[in-house]
């Protein structure tokens, strides 16, 4: 083999070794948060938006777990989320779980607001207080398109008071001929 071929082979081996090291690190770091210990909790939501398995569970912005599963309860049509929270975090029994968006176009995560109860949630317990995600685009759409009933003009001739002023209370000016 020529000298240039040995250099290319050595460089390729070095790149493969670095890729393997990154892969091992990613797998070990993921195992710590995903399956490396923790206790399961359940939360039911009316709307989960873009929440997906693997999403963060956070308390005060700090990641304390992950969303393990999101399914639909066929009887209540509620979204059932199964969470895994690290063992070192003990959540009060009256804590609130909220689906929160990461940004305008980003995904979602679950934010937990700890309550003040002296008893803690135990493995397999369900949050009693939950708040689903807010449909931001739906809210914007309602703001931009007011309800048709309130925006539609009344049938028939307009009353004299309404004819003399606009909807904002500004008196009408006489029309110039």
Are 47 and 128 members of one domain? yes
Listed range (32-46, 54-68, 111-125) with the worst mean pLDDT: 32-46
Tell me whether residue 172 is in a domain: no
Residue 11 — pLDDT band, cuts 50, 70, 90? confident
- Does 170 fall in a domain? no
Higher pLDDT, 175 or 82: 82
- pLDDT mean over 5-12: 85
* pLDDT (mean) for 10-39: 72
Is position 169 within any domain?
A: no
Structural domain includes residue 158: no
What CA dihedral angle connects 26, 29, 33 and 36, to 10 degrees? 110
pLDDT tens across 33-58, in order?
444 579 999 999 998 888 899 999 99
Q: What is the mean pLDDT of residues 149-172?
A: 53
Q: Are residues 60 and 98 in the same domain?
A: yes
Do 92 and 124 share a domain, yes or no?
A: yes
Cα–Cα dist 65/59, whole Å: 9
Closest of 92, 45, 40 to residue 65, by C-alpha: 40
Domain membership of residue 14 as a residue range: 1-33
100 and 16 in a single domain? The answer is no
Average of per-residue pLDDT across 132-144: 76
Most confident of 32-41, 78-87, 132-141: 78-87
Confidence check: pLDDT of 91 > 60: yes
Q: Per the domain annotation, does 12 fall within a domain? A: yes
pTM as predicted: 0.59
CA atoms of 171 and 165, how far apart (whole Å) = 4
Mean pLDDT within 1-28: 78
What are the residues whose beta carbons fall under 8 Å from the beta carbon of 91, sequence distance 6 or more?
41, 59, 85, 112, 114, 120, 121
Q: What is the pLDDT, as a whole number, of residue 132?
A: 85
What pLDDT is attached to residue 17? 87
Domain check: are 69 and 104 in the same one? yes
pLDDT at residue number 96: 94
Helix (H/G/I), strand (E/B), else coil: 24? helix
Structural domains of the chain, count: 2
Whether residue 91 sits in one domain with residue 21? no
């Amino acid at each position: 083999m020529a000298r240039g071929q040995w250099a290319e082979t050595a460089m390729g081996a070095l790149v493969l070794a670095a890729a393997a090291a990154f892969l091992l690190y990613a797998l070990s770091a993921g195992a710590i948060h995903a399956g490396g210990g923790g206790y399961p909790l359940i939360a039911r939501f009316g709307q989960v938006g873009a929440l997906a398995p693997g999403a963060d569970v956070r308390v005060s912005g700090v990641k304390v777990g992950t969303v393990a599963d999101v399914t639909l309860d066929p009887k209540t049509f509620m979204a059932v989320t199964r969470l895994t929270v690290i063992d070192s975090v003990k959540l009060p029994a009256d804590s609130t779980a909220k689906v929160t968006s990461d940004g305008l176009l980003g995904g979602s995560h679950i934010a937990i607001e700890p309550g003040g109860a002296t008893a803690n949630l135990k493995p397999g317990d369900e949050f009693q207080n939950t708040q689903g995600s807010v449909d931001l685009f739906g809210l914007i759409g309602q703001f931009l398109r007011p309800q048709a009933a309130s925006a539609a003009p009344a049938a028939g001739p307009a009353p004299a008071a309404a004819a003399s002023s606009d909807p904002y209370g500004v008196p009408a000016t006489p029309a110039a001929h």
